[in-house]
């Protein structure tokens, strides 16, 4: 309710607010609103970049994990025990966040995110014992550093790994 041009609340608005006050019953605390991670506002550095992966069927290639289309997944071959996916970046790219989005029927139990820094792979994030049902988007934030490639190694998958998209961000 905004005040009128005289800075006062009109009688009809005041009566309506009074009626709402009579009807409304404060039943106490309902629920806590969870604290959210800060939003990702940067550009996905992995989009349509050269990538590679462990073996997959011809119709579910590694390029689908960074094509900016969440309905075309990369699906690893069920014969690969520890599937992996990696993307090449411009030399001197800064990486501080990697987002992994599984398909709804993917059952990844864990993964490791690695950056190629000065010719050596360095682990920057790890997730283990992921629930089979539940969260399918995994945001991995770490201190930003220069890297020429990003690799995600998946382990202990219940079924073959199914990844809708992998995002790589400077932030």
CATH assignment at residue 156:
2.60.120.260
Q: For residue 98, tell me if it sits in a domain.
A: yes
Q: For residue 46, tell me if it sits in a domain.
A: no
Q: For residue 89, tell me if it sits in a domain.
A: yes
**pLDDT, tens digit (0-9, with 9 covering 90-100), for 39-51:** 899 999 999 899 9
Q: For residue 154, tell me if it sits in a domain.
A: yes
**What range defines the domain where residue 154 resides?**
51-169
What pTM, to 2 d.p., does this model score?
0.77
Q: For residue 79, tell me if it sits in a domain.
A: yes
Q: For residue 80, tell me if it sits in a domain.
A: yes
**pLDDT, tens digit (0-9, with 9 covering 90-100), for 70-88:** 999 999 888 888 899 999 9
Q: For residue 27, tell me if it sits in a domain.
A: no
| Structural domains of the chain, count | 1
- In three state form, how does the secondary structure of the chain look? CCCCCCCCCCHHHHHHHHHHHHHCCCCCCCCCCCCCCCCCCCCCCCCCCCEEECCECCCCCHHHHHCCCCCCCEEECCCCCCCEEEEEEEEEEEEEEEEEEECCCCCCCEEEEEEEECCEEEEEEEECCCCCCCCCEEEEEEEEEEEEEEEEEEECCCCCCEEEEEEEECC
């Amino acid at each position: 309710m905004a005040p009128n041009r005289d800075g006062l609340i009109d009688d009809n608005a005041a009566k309506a607010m009074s009626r709402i006050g009579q009807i409304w019953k404060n039943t106490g605390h309902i629920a806590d609103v969870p604290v959210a991670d800060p939003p990702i506002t940067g550009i996905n550095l992995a989009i349509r970049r050269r990538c590679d992966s462990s073996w997959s069927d011809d119709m579910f290639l590694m390029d689908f994990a960074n094509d900016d289309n969440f309905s075309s997944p990369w699906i690893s071959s069920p014969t690969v025990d520890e599937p992996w996916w990696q993307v090449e970046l411009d030399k001197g790219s800064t990486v501080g966040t990697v987002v992994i989005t599984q398909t709804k029927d993917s059952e990844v139990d864990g993964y490791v995110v690695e950056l190629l820094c000065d010719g050596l792979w360095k682990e920057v994030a790890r997730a283990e014992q992921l629930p089979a049902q539940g969260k399918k988007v995994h945001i991995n934030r770490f201190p930003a550093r220069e890297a020429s490639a990003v690799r995600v190694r998946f382990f202990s998958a219940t079924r073959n790994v199914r990844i809708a998209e992998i995002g790589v961000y400077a932030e």
